[in-house]
Amino acid sequence: MTSQSSLGRATLLTRSVSVLLMALLSINAWAAYCSLRDPVMAIRTLYPQSNQYRSLVKTITTEARTNIAQRLPFTLHFNEIGRHTLYVAKQKNTPVGFVHARSELSEWGVIEIAWAITPDFKVHDFYFQRCRSPACNERLRTRLLVDIKNKSVGELLLMLSTDGKSLAPEYFDDYQNDNDLVLSLIRSSLKTIAATEFGWFEEVRSARRLNVVVKHFPQIVAPRLEPLNSDKKATYRMPRALAPSYSYVDQSSIQAFRVLDKSKEIARLVEARWVIENQTGEFSWLFNQAGEVLALTQHDPMPSDDVSQSFSGLRGRDLSSMENCATAAEVSGGTLFLNAYKNVEVY
Query: Residue 210 corresponds to which amino acid?
Result: L
Cα–Cα dist 245/267, whole Å:
31
Largest Cα–Cα separation, the chain: 97
Per-residue pLDDT tens for 217-276? 998 888 999 999 766 666 666 665 555 555 678 888 889 999 999 999 999 999 998 877
Q: Where are the domains of the chain?
A: 23-203, 220-346
DSSP for 265-316, please give it: EEEEEEEEEEEETTEEEEEEEEE-TT-BEEEEEEESSP--HHHHHHHHTTTT
Asked if residue 301 has a cis previous peptide bond (ω within 30° of 0), the answer is: yes
Q: What is the pLDDT of residue 257?
A: 95
Per-residue pLDDT tens for 106-145? 777 889 999 999 988 899 999 999 998 888 999 999 999 9
The pTM of the whole model exceeds 0.95: no
Cα–Cα dist 98/329, whole Å:
31
